[in-house]
Amino acid sequence: MDTREFPQSAGVEKPQAQIEAEKTAEDLATRFSGAGMEVINELLEEIESMELANRFSKSTKVSLPEDQKSLEQDETSYKKAQLLANTRKIQGGIIDLAGSLKSLVMDIKASQIEDSE
């Protein structure tokens, strides 16, 4: 977390405004990531338990490059794996965004503090 924007003298305890800003930033990031993870978990459960449409065959193998032939899967397994991978990628993005949100909140709060506080 970048707190260098908060006016502060060397060797002095953190100002109360900074402590409150850190708490606010942490709370907002937790709420943001919690809500996002809730949605991701719902999607992961749905993907795990869903029945795919008949156009995805359990008997047809997906064509893969030669170096990946050992990973060969049927169309249904491949599609589910693809959906899971995309969902997990978004999950990682939520975690990254929560960190960015904390930095943004700290910057907002620091921008409201006068040097004399």
Per-residue pLDDT of the chain (117 residues; tens, 9 = 90+): 454 466 565 555 678 888 899 999 999 999 999 999 999 999 999 999 999 998 888 888 877 766 666 667 888 888 999 999 999 999 999 999 999 999 999 999 888 877 654
pTM (2 decimals)? 0.71
- Burial classification of residue 102, based on how many CB atoms lie within 10 Å of its CB (0-12 exposed, 13-18 middle, 19 or more buried): buried
Residues near 54 by beta carbon (within 8 Å), at least 6 away in sequence: none
- The answer to whether residue 26 sits within a structural domain is yes
- The answer to whether residue 101 sits within a structural domain is yes
pLDDT of residue 30: 95
- The answer to whether residue 30 sits within a structural domain is yes
CB 91 within 8 A of CB 40: yes
What are the beta bridge partners of residue 74?
Answer: 61
- Stated length of the chain: 117
As a whole number of angstroms, the distance between CA 103 and CA 73 comes to 43
- The answer to whether residue 1 sits within a structural domain is no
- The answer to whether residue 6 sits within a structural domain is no
- The answer to whether residue 75 sits within a structural domain is yes
Domain range spanning residue 27? 16-60+70-110
pLDDT of residue 3: 47
pLDDT of residue 24: 94
